[in-house]
């Protein structure tokens, strides 16, 4: 709203926070306010941030709200706010702002990589960006080119990348801390463009396949932040980068490849390239003997069908990491396996008996609440308890009460003429029904 000279600022942007706003509310409000001020040179953010957590949230939201990908734009456009002043205080405020700045820079790096067109981001370019990050943050880096991948037996990366003029790369970044007692491995899918290979994608599903390297970009961004924040944990990151293209040298459906570690894989669909490059990287990551491996990938569009856009799908091999997520500070107070689309969805979930005939586990649960766009409505908690929404239970109860129709009587057997005796001539092995 215009101030009409009442205060030095020409415009004031008000952001509604509701009652008892959380740090996440502050982050989102600051981001929305800064986005609305695009085209403004400077802005001051005044939100109720009285402690370090809220200061960091407000600063992070403001910095991310001032993001715009303008590298390839021509003509006039509104640039994001260039200078931000955060009006806040309290113990640890300066350290919180610095942490927010580091995290925002890492997130912006990932956004830039995902937004960059594939004409400017081949696997070799992604490796070059990783080398730049390693130099600036003190990380160790190792890059395997196409020759080293063949010599090392990385059949997944070699097979996916052999159809492209841009050869694949396996990028390994590592961070160590002298006081670390644990090692974390991050593995990211880095398909810089996914045409589907010979199993070609439809055109309407291909234009956003430049983002198929988002997993590798997220791993690179995480390592960039870790290198600057210096946490007391050892971290190693793998970026499995390739371009999946059709050509005379591309892998074919029914090809058999040998991934790193020696296991053979039959390729039935060349558009299932993500699991091939990740197989190489995951086996290699396991050789570092980490305490935990986290695989980050845009692996399948089926997740959008199951969970709707927004919530992440996770398939842990143990329940420990899931419990840690749900007990972390600020985690929503909803049972494990419930929908994460919005906090209000958790109230629609109730406990269901594990002996229920409809309590089968699903890979990723979502809520059937009307406030949520997800469809799936059952899931299993790490402790083995099963959860379902009230709406779905009542629906199933009504279905059970409805009497089933009697099964149709079996049809009488019908004879078929032999292809040799058919009046219509040979049928190439298919029986011909009598007319």
What is d(CA 362, CA 366) in angstroms, rounded to the nearest whole number?
10
Q: Are 378 and 390 in contact (CB under 8 A)?
A: no
What is d(CA 11, CA 4) in angstroms, rounded to the nearest whole number?
8
In 3D, which of 221, 62, 213 has the Cα closest to residue 136?
221
Q: Are 267 and 251 in contact (CB under 8 A)?
A: yes
Active site residue 275: yes
Which H or E element spans position 135?
helix 123-137
Token pair in block for residue 413: 């057997």
Catalytic residue among 108, 201, 352, 417: 201
Burial class (CB in 10 A: 0-12, 13-18, 19+), 101: middle
Active site residue 201: yes
What is d(CA 319, CA 222) in angstroms, rounded to the nearest whole number?
23
Burial class (CB in 10 A: 0-12, 13-18, 19+), 59: buried
Catalytic residue among 111, 275, 352, 385: 275
Which SS3 state, helix, strand or coil, does residue 327 take?
helix
Q: Could you give phi then psi for residue 142, rounded to 5 degrees?
A: -140, 130
Token pair in block for residue 433: 């029904």
Residues in the chain: 435
Number of H helices, E strands in the chain: 11, 12
List the beta bridge partners of residue 387. Answer: 351, 379
Q: Could you give phi then psi for residue 172, rounded to 5 degrees?
A: -120, 120
In this structure, the number of other CB atoms found within 10 A of the CB of residue 28 comes to 18
Give the residue numbers annotated as catalytic, written as ranges.
201, 275
């Amino acid at each position: 709203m215009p101030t009409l000279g009442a205060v030095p600022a020409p415009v004031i942007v008000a952001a509604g926070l509701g009652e008892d706003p959380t740090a996440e509310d502050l982050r989102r409000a600051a981001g929305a306010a800064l986005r609305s001020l695009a085209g403004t040179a400077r802005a001051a953010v005044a939100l109720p941030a009285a402690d370090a957590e809220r200061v960091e949230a407000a600063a992070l939201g403001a910095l991310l709200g001032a993001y715009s990908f303008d590298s390839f734009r021509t003509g006039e456009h509104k640039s994001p706010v260039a200078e931000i002043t955060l009006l806040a205080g309290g113990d640890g405020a300066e350290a919180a702002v610095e942490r927010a700045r580091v995290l925002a820079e890492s997130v912006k790096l990932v956004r830039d990589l995902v937004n960059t067109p594939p004409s400017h981001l081949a696997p070799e370019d992604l490796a070059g960006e990783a080398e730049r990050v390693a130099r600036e943050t003190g990380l160790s880096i190792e890059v395997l080119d196409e020759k080293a991948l063949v010599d090392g037996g990385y059949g997944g990366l070699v097979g996916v990348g052999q159809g492209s003029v841009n050869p694949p790369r396996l990028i390994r970044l590592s961070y160590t801390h002298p006081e670390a007692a644990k090692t974390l491995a991050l593995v990211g899918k880095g398909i810089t463009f996914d045409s589907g290979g010979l199993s070609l994608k439809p055109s309407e599903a291909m234009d956003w396949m430049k983002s198929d390297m988002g997993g590798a970009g997220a791993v690179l961004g995480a390592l960039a932040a870790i290198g600057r924040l210096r946490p007391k944990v050892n971290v190693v990151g793998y970026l499995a980068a390739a371009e999946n293209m059709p050509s005379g040298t591309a892998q074919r459906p029914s090809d058999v490849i040998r991934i790193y570690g020696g296991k053979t894989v039959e390729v039935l669909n060349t558009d299932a390239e993500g699991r091939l490059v990740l197989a190489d990287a995951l086996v290699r990551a396991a050789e570092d003997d980490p305490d935990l491996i986290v695989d980050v990938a845009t692996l399948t569009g089926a997740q959008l069908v199951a969970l709707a856009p927004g919530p992440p799908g996770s398939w842990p091999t143990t329940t420990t990491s899931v419990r840690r997520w749900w007990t972390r500070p600020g985690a929503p107070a909803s049972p494990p396996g419930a929908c994460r689309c919005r906090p209000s969805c958790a109230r629609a979930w109730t406990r269901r008996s594990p002996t229920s005939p409809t309590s089968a586990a699903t890979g990723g649960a979502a809520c059937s609440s009307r406030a949520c766009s997800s469809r799936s409505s059952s899931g299993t908690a790490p402790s083995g308890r099963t959860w379902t929404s009230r709406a779905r239970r009542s629906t199933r109860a009504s279905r059970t009460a409805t009497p089933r129709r009697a099964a149709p009587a079996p049809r009488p057997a019908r004879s078929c003429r032999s292809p040799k005796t058919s009046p219509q001539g040979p049928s190439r092995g298919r029986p011909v029904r009598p007319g």
